[in-house]
């Protein structure tokens, strides 16, 4: 295995000196802390715990941590935990291009993709900044040509539709961001085929015209079976609609890849190839050439603003003292709930329809990163790591799972996100005000609850009373964004990236590999072959055999 630098002399988070202190604080203060009382006792609590991030363009995002189950002493110990775990050392190693993805001996350097400082950024002694700029310049030229109509399809018509074919990170990021920034879209339509489902491509091809469609094939190696199968299907469809002339492909296919040989073999002009490097992990690839669909959709300048918003959070994360460091505090709160309150989940609910794919995106970011049970010291953890992140846009969620959040038996630390300014202030902003009132009210209700006396004073009697009681004291972090702009969306994503990083650093796990997705893939290959034959399968456990054989019979 590749060498690894162990930053902390402790193997396990539970051995960190501050851990024991926090355990003690949980017992003596945390588990009995009553938020209502804390607010009553400290008129400055909101000012103290609500932190405002200022983006590069001056727009602001407020992170209100004051409705969390903390006090000054707890917060101080949480910050000490970060110090004991040497979170800043690991952070600096990451930003320094060191190989912190040690199980595969790789740097984690997607921050270089959004570092617009024009300074040298070095991985393995190589300055990668010129390469990053070159790809961005190419994305700018290409997206501007396509958007302006200067780029012509093979019959001389401008492009109207972009079909992005990719899987995993090559899909989730562009889908989420184009949905979130729909307001900034021009005339181009984008479609995403994530190629797990065979009908996805077929349905997309029904609504586009070959003469005016541009396909983006997103595959790092250009050998991923699923992507190439579908890319080939798209190519065959295109050729069948356009008279079979291979030379037309150059006008209608671009590759987001690093494999020039394979791209050329596929028939794509390598001039229309956009590369990215081995230090860009799939779940961080939205900042790379994989973002081309975004640049095409919202325009390059907006894409650049998206990068700069994330860069501003990187700057905050690397330069702000720990006590004021917003993503670090977010990560520490996760650890506080996950490990001391035994919370199993983390809810992220955007009060914004544009952000409807945001929780799904964060699921990959968080759970693929921190769903681990072995430390960077190669021993099993004896404590809980990555939480189950889930979410849906409110206010729909209010009518589905919020019941459980309010009155269930589980503690569900929640982040609520609201943009103060709506892109669609229809009806005298009435909708926006309704949405906002829910955003405020939900967090308030979760905190203040409703006790028996109150329920009785509202006229409830007898057995009905306990059903109407809300225990309250349920923690939320309210994230109030001035407006969902490209810059602020970039900042929000980077915030969650560094929250995830902080959690992983404290749990002392490698947040950057994903061996857990391998086993299923390997077994799927074996089973894939078995599905080719008509013979009964008997090599698995009885359940797997039974299901496969039933499937074959019904297929
Ligand atoms: C390109 O694909 C070939 C397989 O056809 C593989 O051997 C090679 O390593 C790949 N190169 C890159 C840069 O991904
Ligand atoms: C870490 O390495 C693994 C294995 O090579 C790779 O799949 C993953 O994308 C890398 N992660 C990052 C963040 O670079
Ligand atoms: C961008 O890169 C430069 C050069 O490595 C570095 O000094 C700067 O801190 C980086 N900026 C951010 C926000 O990471
Ligand atoms: C986990 O292991 C460490 C080191 O042996 C020990 O200090 C700690 O008490 C253990 N924690 C639990 C919950 O078992
Ligand atoms: C339409 C099409 O060809 N879809 C394919 C995409 O790739 C998957 C996985 O290889 C196939 O199952 C689909 O049929």
The answer to whether the CB of 70 falls within 8 A of the CB of 332 is: no
Q: What's residue 538's pLDDT?
A: 95
Rounded to 10 degrees, the C-alpha dihedral 150/153/157/160 comes to: -80
Q: Which ligand gives the minimal distance to the CA of 12?
A: 4
Rounded average pLDDT over 102-110: 90
Q: Could you report the per-residue pLDDT of 262-309, keeping only the tens digit for each?
A: 999 999 999 999 998 889 999 999 999 999 999 999 999 999 999 999
CA of 136 to the centre of ligand 1 (A): 23
Report DSSP state, residue 13: G
Instruction: Report which protein residue has its CA nearest ligand 1's atom 12.
Output: 259
Between CA 525 and CA 534, with CA 530 as vertex, the angle to 5 degrees is: 155
Q: What's residue 196's pLDDT?
A: 64
Asked if residue 225 has its Cβ within 6 Å of ligand 5, the reply is: yes
Instruction: Give the position of tokens 């506080």.
Output: 336
Asked if residue 88 has its Cβ within 6 Å of ligand 4, the reply is: no
Rounded average pLDDT over 32-50: 98
Q: Could you report the per-residue pLDDT of 482-501, keeping only the tens digit for each?
A: 999 999 999 999 999 999 99
- Give the number of the atom of ligand 2 that is nearest the alpha carbon of residue 510: 1
pLDDT above 60: residue 401: yes
Q: How far is 84 from 395, CA to CA, in rounded Å?
A: 40
Mutate to test the pocket of ligand 3, among 96, 107, 115 (most ligand atoms within 8 A of CB): 115
The answer to whether the CB of 442 falls within 8 A of the CB of 416 is: yes
Q: How far is 198 from 42, CA to CA, in rounded Å?
A: 58
CA of 262 to the centre of ligand 1 (A): 7
CA of 270 to the centre of ligand 4 (A): 55
- Give the number of the atom of ligand 4 that is nearest the alpha carbon of residue 382: 1
The answer to whether the CB of 262 falls within 8 A of the CB of 224 is: no
φ/ψ (deg, to 5) at 88: -70, -30
| Distance, C-alpha 5 to centroid of its chain | 27
Q: How buried is residue 231: exposed, middle or buried, by Cβ count under 10 Å (0-12/13-18/19+)?
A: buried
Bond before 403 cis per omega within 30 degrees: no
Instruction: Report which protein residue has its CA nearest ligand 2's atom 14.
Output: 281
Mutate to test the pocket of ligand 4, among 15, 26, 377 (most ligand atoms within 8 A of CB): 15
Asked if residue 15 has its Cβ within 6 Å of ligand 4, the reply is: yes
Q: How far is 134 from 132, CA to CA, in rounded Å?
A: 5
Rounded average pLDDT over 236-241: 95
Rounded average pLDDT over 369-388: 95
CA of 220 to the centre of ligand 1 (A): 9
Asked if residue 198 has its Cβ within 6 Å of ligand 5, the reply is: yes
Q: What's residue 92's pLDDT?
A: 96
Q: Could you report the per-residue pLDDT of 260-273, keeping only the tens digit for each?
A: 999 999 999 999 99
Q: What's residue 3's pLDDT?
A: 43
Q: How far is 198 from 4, CA to CA, in rounded Å?
A: 41
Q: How far is 217 from 231, CA to CA, in rounded Å?
A: 7
Q: What's residue 105's pLDDT?
A: 87
Rounded average pLDDT over 403-429: 91
Between CA 258 and CA 237, with CA 164 as vertex, the angle to 5 degrees is: 105
Instruction: Give the position of tokens 């399809």.
Output: 153
Q: What's residue 1's pLDDT?
A: 40
What b/e readout covers 487-508, taking b as 16+ CB neighbours within 10 angstroms?
Answer: bbbbbbbbbbbbbbbbbbbbbb
The answer to whether the CB of 77 falls within 8 A of the CB of 329 is: no
Asked if residue 226 has its Cβ within 6 Å of ligand 5, the reply is: yes
Q: What's residue 195's pLDDT?
A: 66
Q: Is 304 helix (H, G, I), strand (E, B) or coil?
A: helix
Asked if residue 262 has its Cβ within 6 Å of ligand 5, the reply is: no
Q: Could you report the per-residue pLDDT of 20-30, keeping only the tens digit for each?
A: 999 999 999 99
Rounded average pLDDT over 120-125: 93
The answer to whether the CB of 72 falls within 8 A of the CB of 329 is: no
Alpha carbon of 196 to those of 165, 193, 255, 367, 527: distances in Å? 10, 8, 19, 20, 16
Rounded average pLDDT over 414-439: 89
Q: How far is 511 from 514, CA to CA, in rounded Å?
A: 8
Sign, CA torsion 326/329/335/337? negative
Which residues lie across from 450 on neighbouring strands?
470
Give the containing element (helix H, strand E) for 176: helix 169-180
Which residues lie across from 191 on neighbouring strands?
163
Instruction: Report which protein residue has its CA nearest ligand 5's atom 8.
Output: 226
What is the helix, strand, coil percentage profile of the chain, to 5? Answer: 55, 15, 30
Q: What are the pocket residues of ligand 3 if the criterion is a CB atom closer than 6 Å to any ligand atom?
A: 95, 111, 115, 117, 119-121, 311, 314-315, 318
Domains and CATH numbers, the chain: 23-85+320-507 (3.40.50.10490), 126-301 (3.40.50.10490), 515-554 (1.10.1390.10)
Rounded average pLDDT over 67-75: 98
Question: 5 pLDDT band (50/70/90 cuts)?
Answer: low
Q: What are the pocket residues of ligand 2 if the criterion is a CB atom closer than 6 Å to any ligand atom?
A: 101, 104, 106, 108, 279, 281-282, 284, 512-513
Report DSSP state, residue 536: P
Q: Which residue has the higher pLDDT, 435 or 303?
A: 303
Instruction: Report which protein residue has its CA nearest ligand 2's atom 6.
Output: 513
Q: What's residue 2's pLDDT?
A: 43
Which residues lie across from 414 on neighbouring strands?
347, 476
Q: How far is 135 from 440, CA to CA, in rounded Å?
A: 43
Q: What is the DSSP string of 244-300?
A: T-GGGHHHHEEEE-S-HHHHHHHT--GGGEE---TTS-GGGGGGTGGGHHHHHHH-H
Question: 197 pLDDT band (50/70/90 cuts)?
Answer: low
CA of 91 to the centre of ligand 4 (A): 26
Instruction: Report which protein residue has its CA nearest ligand 2's atom 3.
Output: 513
- Give the number of the atom of ligand 3 that is nearest the alpha carbon of residue 122: 5
CA of 28 to the centre of ligand 4 (A): 20
Q: What's residue 4's pLDDT?
A: 57
pLDDT above 50: residue 33: yes
Q: How far is 550 from 555, CA to CA, in rounded Å?
A: 8
% of the chain exceeding 70 in pLDDT:
98
CA of 285 to the centre of ligand 4 (A): 37
Rounded average pLDDT over 377-388: 95
**Strand 122-123 to strand 126-127: parallel, antiparallel, or no bridges (unpaired)?**
antiparallel
pLDDT above 80: residue 410: yes
Rounded average pLDDT over 502-509: 97
Q: Could you report the per-residue pLDDT of 317-348, keeping only the tens digit for each?
A: 999 999 999 999 999 999 999 999 999 999 99
Give the containing element (helix H, strand E) for 402: helix 402-407
CA of 145 to the centre of ligand 5 (A): 31
Q: Which residues are catalytic?
A: 368, 399, 521
Question: 222 pLDDT band (50/70/90 cuts)?
Answer: confident
* Summary mean pLDDT of the chain: 94
Compute the chain's Rg from CA coordinates.
Answer: 25
């Amino acid at each position: 295995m590749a060498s690894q630098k162990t930053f902390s002399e402790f193997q396990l988070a539970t051995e960190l000196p501050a851990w024991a202190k926090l355990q003690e604080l949980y017992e003596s203060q945390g588990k009995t802390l009553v938020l209502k009382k804390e607010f009553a006792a400290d008129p400055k609590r909101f000012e103290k715990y609500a932190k405002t991030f200022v983006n590069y363009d001056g727009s602001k995002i407020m992170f209100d941590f004051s409705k969390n189950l903390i006090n000054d002493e707890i917060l101080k110990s949480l910050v000490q935990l970060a110090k004991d775990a040497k979170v800043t050392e690991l952070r600096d190693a990451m930003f320094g291009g060191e190989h912190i993805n040690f199980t595969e001996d790789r740097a984690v350097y997607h921050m270089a993709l959004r570092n617009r400082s024009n300074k040298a950024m070095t991985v393995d002694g190589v300055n990668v900044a010129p390469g990053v700029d070159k790809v961005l310049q190419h994305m700018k030229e290409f997206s501007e040509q396509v958007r302006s109509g200067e780029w012509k399809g093979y019959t001389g018509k401008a492009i109207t539709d972009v079909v992005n074919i990719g899987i995993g990170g090559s899909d989730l990021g562009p889908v989420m961001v184009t949905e979130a920034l729909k307001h900034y879209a021009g005339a181009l339509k984008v479609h995403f085929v994530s190629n797990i489902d065979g009908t996805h491509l077929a349905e997309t091809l029904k609504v586009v015209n070959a003469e005016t469609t541009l396909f983006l094939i997103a595959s790092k190696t250009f050998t991923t079976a699923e992507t190439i199968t579908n890319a080939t299907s798209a190519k065959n469809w295109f050729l069948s609609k356009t008279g079979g002339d291979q030379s037309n492909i150059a006008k209608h296919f671009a590759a987001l890849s690093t494999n020039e040989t394979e791209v050329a073999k596929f028939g794509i002009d390598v001039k229309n190839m956009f590369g990215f490097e081995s230090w860009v992990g799939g779940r961080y690839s939205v900042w790379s050439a994989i973002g081309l669909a975004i640049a095409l959709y919202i325009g390059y300048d907006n894409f650049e603003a998206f990068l700069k918003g994330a860069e501003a959070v990187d700057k905050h994360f690397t330069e702000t003292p720990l006590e004021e460091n917003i993503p670090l505090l977010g990560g520490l709160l996760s650890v506080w709930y996950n490990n001391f309150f035994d919370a199993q989940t983390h809810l992220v609910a955007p009060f914004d329809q544009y952000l409807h794919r945001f929780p799904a995106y964060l699921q990959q970011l968080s759970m693929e990163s921190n769903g681990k049970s072995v430390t960077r010291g190669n021993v099993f953890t004896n404590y809980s790591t990555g939480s189950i992140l889930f979410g849906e846009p409110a206010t729909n969620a209010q009518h589905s799972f919020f019941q459980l959040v309010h009155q269930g038996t589980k503690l569900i630390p929640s982040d609520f996100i609201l943009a103060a300014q709506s892109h669609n202030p229809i009806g005298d902003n009435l909708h926006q005000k309704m949405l906002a009132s829910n955003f405020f009210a939900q967090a308030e209700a979760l905190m203040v609850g409703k006790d028996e006396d109150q329920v009785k004073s509202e006229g409830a009697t007898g057995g009905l009373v306990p059903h109407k009681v809300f225990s309250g004291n349920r923690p939320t972090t309210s994230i109030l964004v001035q407006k969902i702009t490209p810059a602020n969306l970039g900042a929000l994503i980077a915030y969650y990236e560094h929250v995830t990083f902080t959690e992983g650093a404290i749990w002392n796990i490698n947040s950057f590999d994903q061996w857990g997705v391998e086993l299923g893939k390997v077994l799927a290959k074996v089973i894939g072959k078995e599905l080719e034959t008509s013979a009964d399968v008997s090599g698995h456990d009885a359940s797997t055999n039974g299901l496969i054989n039933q499937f074959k019979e019904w297929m």
